[in-house]
């Protein structure tokens, strides 16, 4: 059994296929993408299950194509301009052609890096997303945003480059450490908070089954989160109308936290930063009278139910409010009118607000930073 969510962009339509133990070859063959596959994968798969996952995947692809493997170290450090340059030169030296198809096999870091390589090498190659983490399956693999980090901030170098297909295999989630699984849930909660109150209620009701990774609940969760993102992407593919900015609920705070942590991927990982960022966004929304303070408590309660942090102390990390506010100025949504933040009008509806004072923002940041 498998589910399918279509992303019918004009001239760039593709499907997100979701299921357990997907037959990658059976799904890819009808797409007629060619027979030259360049797989960019996370080095964790060299040792995971004694390398059987990677070998099985490569053998499956090899039944219908030439397969070349390029390993990328785990963590945000691989999304740097320096590493991108090294890997690009290595791939070009392997004599790829415009018919080469790039496959991203890993989490969000791999998908972003591989997608940017596909978008830029030879002025554009087709690529396939095979996300292996929950966070990547519900969020980063869908929508065509690809890129790398700069010293100034996260994902500031990149492109919009839609995949040919996204294959989200539930079987991959069995290998996820609890911390990584929880990080993925943060993006699911974000999707519900910004666009689907009924989904939020469902998550509250099924938290225990989701924590136990029951396949039927996971499939339903991924399908609903992907549909929310698909609807937003279809309405604003390249972030021109402001609708797609809503997907950044909590992310302006989160990206500043990650930058403050040096993108080390140890003290703080992306989903954890998003959880803290959503708490900050919810608190600011309450301070502005947009939502009741009881909703902030409700958000924090569900985050804690999934072992997600709401303060930097929860992950043993320290940061100064002044530093975070400065880093937030590099956010991609900032324009000539200043910093824009995605806040909550209610549980299940997000809005973009601007013209907020430094004092208002600092007041929302501080409680999540206090020792």
Is 190 an annotated catalytic residue?
A: no
Render 277-333 in DSSP notation, one character per residue. HHHHHHHHHHHTTSS-HHHHHHHHHHHHHTT--SSGGGGT----HHHHHHHHTT-TT
CB 118 within 8 A of CB 110: no
| Catalytic-labelled residue, pool 79, 126, 227, 270 | 270
SS3 assignment, position 40: strand
Tokens of 235: 């309405």
| Catalytic-labelled residue, pool 206, 239, 287, 346 | 239
Tokens of 285: 């929304």
If you count DSSP H runs as helices and E runs as strands, how many of each does the chain have, helices first?
15, 11
Is 298 an annotated catalytic residue?
A: no
CB 257 within 8 A of CB 171: no
Count CA atoms closer than 13 A to 206's CA, side-chain side. Answer: 20
| Catalytic-labelled residue, pool 227, 229, 283, 353 | 229
Count CA atoms closer than 13 A to 337's CA, side-chain side. Answer: 8
| Catalytic-labelled residue, pool 79, 145, 154, 217 | 145
CB within 8 Å of 95: residues ≥ 6 apart: none
Is 239 an annotated catalytic residue?
A: yes
Is 187 an annotated catalytic residue?
A: yes
| Catalytic-labelled residue, pool 76, 187, 258, 272 | 187
| Catalytic-labelled residue, pool 79, 161, 224, 251 | 251
| Catalytic-labelled residue, pool 154, 217, 248, 340 | 248
Is 270 an annotated catalytic residue?
A: yes
| Catalytic-labelled residue, pool 32, 50, 95, 123 | 123
Bridge partners, 103 (sequence order): 39, 128
Is 287 an annotated catalytic residue?
A: no
| Catalytic-labelled residue, pool 126, 154, 217, 244 | 244
Strand ranges (DSSP E) for the chain? 2-7, 14-19, 36-42, 66-72, 101-106, 126-131, 145-150, 153-160, 165-169, 341-346, 349-353
| Catalytic-labelled residue, pool 79, 126, 224, 255 | 255
Is 332 an annotated catalytic residue?
A: no
Catalytic residues: 123, 145, 187, 229, 239, 244, 248, 251, 255, 270
């Amino acid at each position: 059994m498998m589910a399918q969510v279509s992303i019918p962009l004009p001239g760039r339509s593709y499907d997100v296929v979701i299921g357990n133990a997907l037959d990658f070859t059976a799904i890819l063959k009808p797409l007629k993408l060619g027979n030259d596959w360049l797989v960019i994968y996370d080095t964790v798969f060299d040792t995971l299950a004694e390398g059987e996952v990677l070998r099985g995947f490569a053998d499956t692809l090899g039944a219908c194509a030439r397969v070349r493997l390029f390993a990328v170290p785990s963590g945000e450090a691989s999304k740097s301009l320096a590493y991108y340059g090294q890997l690009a030169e290595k791939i070009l030296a392997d004599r790829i052609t415009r018919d080469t198809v790039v496959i991203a096999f890993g989490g969000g870091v791999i998908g972003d890096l591989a997608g940017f390589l596909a978008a830029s090498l030879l002025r554009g190659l087709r690529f396939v997303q095979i996300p292996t983490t929950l966070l990547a399956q519900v969020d980063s693999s869908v929508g065509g945003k690809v890129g790398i980090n700069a010293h100034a901030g996260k994902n500031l170098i990149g492109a919009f480059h839609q995949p040919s297909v996204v294959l989200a295999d539930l079987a991959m989630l069995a290998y996820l450490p609890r911390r990584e699984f929880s990080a993925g849930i943060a993006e699911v909660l974000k999707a519900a908070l910004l666009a689907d109150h009924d989904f939020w209620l469902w998550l509250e009701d099924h938290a225990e089954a989701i924590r136990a990774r029951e396949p039927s609940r996971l499939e339903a969760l991924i399908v609903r989160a992907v549909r929310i993102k698909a609807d937003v992407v279809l309405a604003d593919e390249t972030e021109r109308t402001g609708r797609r900015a809503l997907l950044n609920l909590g992310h302006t705070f989160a990206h500043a936290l990650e930058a403050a942590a040096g993108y080390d991927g140890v003290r703080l990982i992306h989903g954890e930063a998003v959880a803290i960022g959503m708490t900050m966004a919810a608190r600011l929304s309450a301070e502005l009278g947009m939502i009741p303070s009881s909703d902030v408590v409700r958000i924090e309660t569900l985050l804690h139910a999934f072992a997600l942090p709401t303060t930097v102390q929860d992950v043993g990390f320290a940061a100064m409010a002044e530093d975070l506010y400065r880093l937030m100025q590099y956010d991609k949504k900032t324009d000539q009118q200043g910093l824009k933040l995605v806040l909550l009008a209610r549980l299940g509806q997000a809005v973009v607000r601007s013209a907020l004072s430094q004092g208002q923002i600092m007041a929302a940041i501080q409680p999540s930073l206090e020792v």
